[in-house]
Protein backbone atom coordinates (compact mmCIF):
# COMPACT_ATOMS: atom_id res chain seq x y z
CA UNK A 1 0.00 0.00 0.00
CA UNK A 2 3.03 2.22 -0.08
CA UNK A 3 2.34 5.48 -1.83
CA UNK A 4 -1.36 4.79 -1.90
CA UNK A 5 -3.87 7.58 -1.31
CA UNK A 6 -6.97 7.22 0.82
CA UNK A 7 -10.40 8.78 1.02
CA UNK A 8 -12.02 9.37 4.37
CA UNK A 9 -14.50 6.54 3.76
CA UNK A 10 -11.66 4.14 2.94
CA UNK A 11 -9.79 5.08 6.09
CA UNK A 12 -12.93 4.47 8.19
CA UNK A 13 -13.55 1.10 6.53
CA UNK A 14 -9.97 -0.02 7.04
CA UNK A 15 -9.98 0.96 10.73
CA UNK A 16 -13.34 -0.74 11.23
CA UNK A 17 -12.01 -3.97 9.79
CA UNK A 18 -9.00 -3.85 12.13
CA UNK A 19 -11.19 -3.11 15.14
CA UNK A 20 -13.57 -5.93 14.22
CA UNK A 21 -10.67 -8.40 14.43
CA UNK A 22 -10.06 -7.44 18.04
CA UNK A 23 -13.63 -7.62 19.29
CA UNK A 24 -14.97 -10.59 21.11
CA UNK A 25 -18.64 -9.64 21.09
CA UNK A 26 -20.84 -8.55 18.20
CA UNK A 27 -21.59 -4.85 18.13
CA UNK A 28 -22.27 -2.16 15.59
CA UNK A 29 -19.10 -0.26 14.88
CA UNK A 30 -19.46 3.40 14.03
CA UNK A 31 -17.09 6.33 14.13
CA UNK A 32 -18.64 7.29 17.47
CA UNK A 33 -18.07 3.85 19.01
CA UNK A 34 -15.83 4.01 22.06
CA UNK A 35 -13.21 1.29 21.75
CA UNK A 36 -13.18 0.49 25.45
CA UNK A 37 -16.64 1.41 26.68
CA UNK A 38 -18.77 0.35 23.68
CA UNK A 39 -16.74 -2.29 21.89
CA UNK A 40 -15.35 -4.01 24.96
CA UNK A 41 -11.68 -3.81 23.96
CA UNK A 42 -9.43 -3.51 27.04
CA UNK A 43 -6.62 -1.00 27.30
CA UNK A 44 -3.96 -3.46 26.12
CA UNK A 45 -6.30 -4.41 23.26
CA UNK A 46 -6.41 -0.77 22.21
CA UNK A 47 -2.62 -0.79 21.93
CA UNK A 48 -2.92 -3.87 19.74
CA UNK A 49 -5.46 -2.11 17.50
CA UNK A 50 -3.11 0.85 17.15
CA UNK A 51 -0.18 -1.39 16.22
CA UNK A 52 -2.26 -3.14 13.55
CA UNK A 53 -3.58 0.14 12.19
CA UNK A 54 -0.02 1.47 11.96
CA UNK A 55 0.99 -1.60 9.98
CA UNK A 56 -1.92 -1.23 7.54
CA UNK A 57 -1.23 2.45 6.92
CA UNK A 58 2.56 2.14 7.23
CA UNK A 59 2.91 4.93 9.74
CA UNK A 60 3.70 5.59 13.40
CA UNK A 61 1.15 7.38 15.54
CA UNK A 62 3.01 9.48 18.12
CA UNK A 63 2.58 8.71 21.79
CA UNK A 64 1.24 12.20 22.37
CA UNK A 65 -1.48 11.66 19.75
CA UNK A 66 -2.26 8.26 21.16
CA UNK A 67 -3.10 9.37 24.66
CA UNK A 68 -6.52 10.64 23.83
CA UNK A 69 -7.80 7.94 21.56
CA UNK A 70 -11.24 6.93 22.83
CA UNK A 71 -13.48 6.40 19.81
CA UNK A 72 -12.92 4.79 16.47
CA UNK A 73 -13.27 8.30 15.02
CA UNK A 74 -10.29 9.40 17.14
CA UNK A 75 -8.15 6.67 15.56
CA UNK A 76 -9.33 7.77 12.11
CA UNK A 77 -8.50 11.41 12.91
CA UNK A 78 -4.99 10.53 14.13
CA UNK A 79 -4.35 8.60 10.91
CA UNK A 80 -5.70 11.36 8.70
CA UNK A 81 -3.39 13.94 10.27
CA UNK A 82 -0.46 11.76 9.21
CA UNK A 83 -1.89 11.00 5.78
CA UNK A 84 -2.52 14.65 5.15
CA UNK A 85 1.03 15.56 6.14
CA UNK A 86 2.28 13.04 3.58
CA UNK A 87 -0.24 14.26 0.99
CA UNK A 88 -1.93 10.86 0.89
CA UNK A 89 -5.45 11.92 1.86
CA UNK A 90 -7.83 12.44 -1.06
CA UNK A 91 -10.27 15.32 -0.80
CA UNK A 92 -13.79 14.06 -1.43
CA UNK A 93 -16.60 16.20 -2.79
CA UNK A 94 -18.99 17.13 -0.02
CA UNK A 95 -22.43 15.58 -0.55
Partner 1 sequence: MRTVVQALEDAAESAHTGFRFIEESKKSEPFFTYSGVERVTARYGGAMQAMGLKKGDRIALILPNNQDFVFAFLGALRAGIVPVPIYPPAGLRRLGGYLENTLHIVRKSGARVVLTDGSIRRLLGTVQSGAPDLQRIEAIEPMRNSREPLEPEKISLDDTCFLQFTSGSTSAPKGVIVSHGNIAANVRRFMEEGLEVEAGVDSGVSWLPLYHDMGLIGFMLGPLYHRNTITYLPPMLFLKRPVRWLETISRLRATISFGPNFAYALCVKRVRDADIEGLDLSTWRAAGCGAEPIRARDLRAFANRFAPAGFDHRAVLPCYGMAEATLAISFPRLGEGVRTDTVDAEGLAGELKANGAESGSGGAIEVVNCGKTFEDHDVAVFDPKDEASEYLLPDRVVGELRVRGPSVTSGYFDEPELTKKAFAGDWLRTGDVGYIVDGDIFICGRQKELIIVNGRNYYPQDLEWEASSIDGVRKGNVIAFGTRRPLDDRERVVVVFETSVTDRDARAAVKNEVRKAVRQATGLSIDDVVDLDAGVLPKTSSGKLRRNETRRLYETGELFKRTSARQGDAIGIAKEIVKSQIGYARDALFIKK
Per CB under 8 A, residues contacting partner 1 are: 34, 36-37, 40, 42-44, 46-48, 50-51, 60, 62-64, 66-68, 70
12 Rama sector, left if φ>0, alpha if ψ -120 to 50, beta otherwise: alpha
Nearer to partner 1, 13 or 55 (CB): 55
70 by DSSP, 3-state: which?
A: coil
Sequence-distant (6+) residues with CB within 8 A of 25 are 40
Residue among 9 and 51 whose Cβ is closer to partner 1: 51
Q: CB-wise, 10 or 74, nearer to partner 1?
A: 74
Amino acid sequence: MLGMSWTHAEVVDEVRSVVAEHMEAEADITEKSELVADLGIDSLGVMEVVADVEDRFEMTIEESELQDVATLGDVVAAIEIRLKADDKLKETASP
